[in-house]
Chain A
Amino acid sequence: MLIKLSISSLYARALTVSMTVVAISLSLMLYMSVEKLRTSAYTSFTDTISQTDLIIGARASSVQLLLYSVFRIGNATNNITWESYQDLENKEEVDWTVPISLGDSHKGFRVMGTNKEFFSRYKYRGGQSINIQKGNLFEDLYDVVLGAGVAEKLDYSIDTPLIVSHGLRSFSDHDDQPFRVSGILEKTGTPVDNTVIVSLAAIEAIHVDWSTGAKIPGQQTPIEEIRKMDLTPKNITAVLVGVKSKLSIFNLQRWVNEYPEEAMTAILPGAALQELWRVVGVVENLLLGISIVVIFTTLVGMAAIMFSNLNERRREMAIWRAMGASPSIVMGLLMLEAIFIALLSILLSVILLFGTLNILQPWIDYNYGILVNVEFFTLRDIYVFIMFIISSIIVSLLPAVRAYWFSINDGMSIKV
């Protein structure tokens, strides 16, 4: 009966209660949205590369190697020689390798030289493959495959000609050897979207007349002659490696780190991503801080509304007392109301959140490369709901204790 009357009491104050529920729901939804975005950003970040066992480059910190080889941020401290790469490739433990060569750019987008294995071996988001959206992978020496972001931002399509610039901010272009777009990849939400991909041979070709970072004056090898040359690279920037057995990862890592011919580093992508996330974790902490402030504000708001209603409800409390209700029951009724309001708010916020996320998920994924998790009720969500209900009970204690004292002191006469 108490529950029935408590619900009736809320229903009778439908307007105030619904405004309270809407306000709390919006705050709760904001909190959960921030949480979802935070966890989804983390997942998307750590899923940038998957099923690659090791990334190998010249001696550097793991974060630096990860930044330039996967995120195309910064530069390699050094290259590794093709001979070292071949030594690695011939190791018994190695299942596959994808060499990559970085250093040039096109209109601010990084140009990456690699082989066709890259398109089948590079996986993201727990094993998804890169798919071609339009055209083909590079067949000709001067073919390029564009990430979806590059094609969209530069408005390029198949057969669009393009010139690769030397370095990242160089005023020197490899304009003597123009490329053409042969294929455009599907959106991945990874740095691949913003990459211009050419063959390793193409990287070698455009540097035929170059020495120590500058074009050799007066030298201009004809394209037809270049096409006939052996364009096996002398150096590469990094190698993505898959091993036959996971048990051999650490052995291979040790072999690379102790390789006598040149200084190299092998990193485990998962561990390096975690390390990198810790570096950028300030933003995560900021978002978490905002979430906590939002939820705290919500709870204080609920207590304020309960306090403001308390004076109007003293007559109601006197009736309960006259019927034999103890002050504890009067106190319990207010806490029961807080629980109902919390439950209604949770329900509404879940409907709002998942409705909004389902609508916005494709847009967020396309524009920011963050795949927001729209699963209903993860364990973390349920934990947040339980904590919110407990917090609501704790917060309602303040007005409930006040109601307790009102109901003791008022007796039959209300002194408002």
Chain B
Amino acid sequence: MDESIIKIESLNFYWSKKSNFKIFVPSLEIKKGEKVLLLGESGSGKTTLLSLICGFLNPLSGSISINGNTINKLSSKTKDEYRADNIGIIFQQFNLLPYANVVDNVLLPLYFSQARSKNIVNKRAAALELFKQLRLPDDIAQYRASNLSVGQQQRVAVARALIGNPSLIIADEPTSSLDTNAQQLFLDLMFKQISENNSTLLMVSHDKSLSNRFDRQININEILIREN
């Protein structure tokens, strides 16, 4: 657990020169296999930080390293490939392509990642096994994503993030649209699978009550300086 999977140093970012929202992250390090909760209120810059870590956005200065690679130095194409190979992403809601069936949604990252794809012999079987582990119904594979309940959609999103064993899972308030019972079940299943996969989890939430499930919690205000 000593090796870092995310390492940020002197990160500067703003949306545009005219924008008055600027952030600065002096330093942040997350170790491999850690489960980290990033706490913060709405508008505090959590999602922007996740977008930077995922390589969607480019910092003005500083560095973001994932698995020892400084991703903000990579070309756009390499960054996309790197994200596909190493990061599984779970959004707050609307995680799935509504027109595709569940199995196609889950197998989608494998289309873009050779590394994750080669970990799996039978892709469909791997997806069905994840459905079983996440207690999704046996016949869910052929359902259209738009026909699932929100709770089921979030569990399918977990399956999609985990397929092919990416080293880092990033979840942006994945429980915010679930009721309390569904939240607990969802987190139980997600944590179990992430532990079995030996993946690292960085989850964003504003719900402090979730902190006892994580190895570490970070308050965004402690690592990030905002300039409004």
- A residues near B, CB below 8 A? 1-2, 4-5, 8-9, 11-13, 315-316, 318-319, 321-327, 408, 410-413
Q: Residues of A contacting B80 with CB < 8 Å? A: 321, 324-326
Instruction: Tell me the bound Cα distance from A13 to B51 in angstroms.
Output: 29
18 residue pairs from A and B, CB less than 8 Å apart: A4-B104, A5-B100, A5-B108, A8-B99, A8-B100, A8-B104, A9-B97, A12-B144, A315-B94, A318-B91, A319-B96, A322-B83, A323-B89, A323-B109, A324-B80, A324-B81, A324-B113, A411-B56
A residues near B48, Cβ cutoff 8 Å: 411, 413
Cα(A364)–Cα(B155), bound, Å? 63
Contacting A325 at CB < 8 Å: which of B47, B112, B172?
Answer: B112
Selected from A13, A322, A325, the residue in CB contact (under 8 A) with B91 is A322
Q: Does the CB pair A324–B91 fall under 8 Å?
A: no
Q: Which of A5, A8, A315, A412 is within 8 Å of B47, CB to CB?
A: A412
* A12 with B98, Cβ < 8 A, contacts A322-B91, A411-B54, A413-B51 known: yes
Q: How far is the CB of B38 from chain A (nearest CB, A)?
A: 13
Q: Other CB < 8 Å A-B pairs besides A5-B97, A8-B100, A324-B80, 19 of them?
A: A1-B108, A2-B111, A5-B99, A5-B108, A9-B97, A9-B99, A11-B99, A12-B99, A12-B146, A321-B56, A322-B89, A323-B111, A324-B81, A325-B80, A326-B76, A410-B56, A411-B47, A412-B54, A413-B47
Is B57 within 8 A of A323, CB to CB? no
Q: What residues make up the interface of B, taking CB atoms closer than 8 Å to A?
A: 47-48, 50-51, 54, 56-57, 76-77, 80-81, 83-85, 89, 91, 94-101, 104, 107-109, 111-113, 144, 146, 160, 172
Q: Cβ of B91: which chain A residues have Cβ within 8 Å of it?
A: 318-319, 322, 412
Which residue of chain A lies nearest to B16 when distances are taken between CB atoms in the complex? A409
Residues from chain B with Cβ under 8 Å of A1 in the complex: 104, 107-108, 111
> At the interface, is chain A mostly helix, strand, loop or mixed?
helix
CB distance from A162 to the nearest CB of B (A): 73
Contacts of A322 in B (CB 8 A): 54, 83, 89, 91
Residues of A within 8 A of B81 (CB): 324
Most buried by B among A4, A316, A319, A324: A324
CB of A411 within 8 A of CB of B51, answer yes
Residues of chain B contacted by A13 (CB below 8 angstroms): 99
Q: In the complex, are the beta carbons of B77 and A316 less than 8 A apart?
A: no
Shortest Cβ distance from residue B97 to the other chain A in the assembled complex, whole angstroms = 6
Question: For residue B96, which residues in chain A have a CB less than 8 angstroms away from its CB?
Answer: 319
The answer to whether B56 touches A412, judged by C-beta atoms less than 8 angstroms apart, is: yes
Closest CB in chain A relative to B56 CB, distance in Å: 3
- Cα–Cα distance between A158 and B189 once the two chains are bound (Å): 96
Which residues from A are CB-within-8-Å of B107? 1
Listed from nearest, the 8 A-B pairs whose CB atoms lie closest are A324-B84, A12-B99, A324-B112, A411-B51, A411-B56, A322-B89, A326-B80, A8-B99
Say how far B110's CB is from chain A's closest CB, in angstroms.
9
Most chain A C-beta atoms within 10 Å of own C-beta, residue among B50, B96, B100, B107: B100
- Cα A220 to Cα B108 in complex, Å, equals 101
Quote the shortest CB–CB distance from B200 to chain A (angstroms). Answer: 17
Residue of B nearest to A412 (CB): B51
A327 CA to B160 CA in the complex, in Å? Answer: 20
Minimum C-beta distance from A9 to chain B (A): 5
What chain A residues lie within 8 Å of B99 (beta carbons)?
Answer: 5, 8-9, 11-13
Interface centre among B56, B100, B104 (most CB of A within 10 A): B56
Inter-subunit contact B83/A324 (CB<8 Å) = yes
- Minimum CB–CB distance from A274 to chain B (whole Å) comes to 55
In whole angstroms, what is the CA distance A44 to B146 when docked?
Answer: 56
Nearest-Cβ distance from residue B197 to partner chain A, whole angstroms: 18
CA distance A326 to B79 in the complex (A): 9
In the assembled complex, how far is the CB of residue A331 from the closest CB belonging to chain B, in whole angstroms? 13
B50 touches A412 (CB 8 A): yes
In contact, A323 and B108 (Cβ under 8 angstroms) = yes
**Which among A5, A327, A408 is the interface contact of B104 at CB below 8 angstroms?**
A5
Give the shortest distance, in Å, between A292 (CB) and chain B (any CB): 36
Q: Contact: B97 with A316, CB < 8 Å?
A: yes
CB neighbours (8 Å) of B101 from chain A are 8
Cβ distance B100 to chain A, nearest Cβ, rounded Å: 5
Q: Nearest chain B CB to A404's CB is how many angstroms away? A: 11
Whole-angstrom CA separation of A8 from B97 in the bound complex: 10
Q: Which residue of B lies closest to A322 (CB)?
A: B89
Q: Are A412 and B77 in contact (CB under 8 A)?
A: no
Residues on B with C-beta less than 8 A from A326 are 76-77, 80
Complex Cα spacing A5 to B100, Å: 6
Given contacts A4-B104, A5-B97, contact A323 B84 (CB under 8 A): yes
Cα distance A62–B186 in the bound complex, in angstroms: 89
Whole-angstrom distance between the alpha carbons of A1 and B107 in the complex? Answer: 10
Contact of A412 among B89, B97, B98, B104 (CB under 8 A): B89
Give the residues in chain A near B172, CB-CB below 8 Å: 412
Q: Which residues does chain B contribute within 8 Å of A323, judged by CB atoms?
A: 84, 89, 108-109, 111-112, 160
Docked pose: A323 CA to B94 CA in angstroms = 14
Q: Collect the chain A residues with CB atoms within 8 Å of residue B50's CB.
A: 412
The smallest beta-carbon distance between A388 and chain B, in angstroms, is: 26
Task: Enumerate chain A residues within 8 angstroms of B54, measured Cβ to Cβ.
Answer: 322, 411-412
Q: Which residues of B contact A327 (CB under 8 A)?
A: 76
Within the assembled complex, what's the spacing in Å between the Cα atoms of A319 and B157? Answer: 11
A288 to B83, CA, bound (A): 52
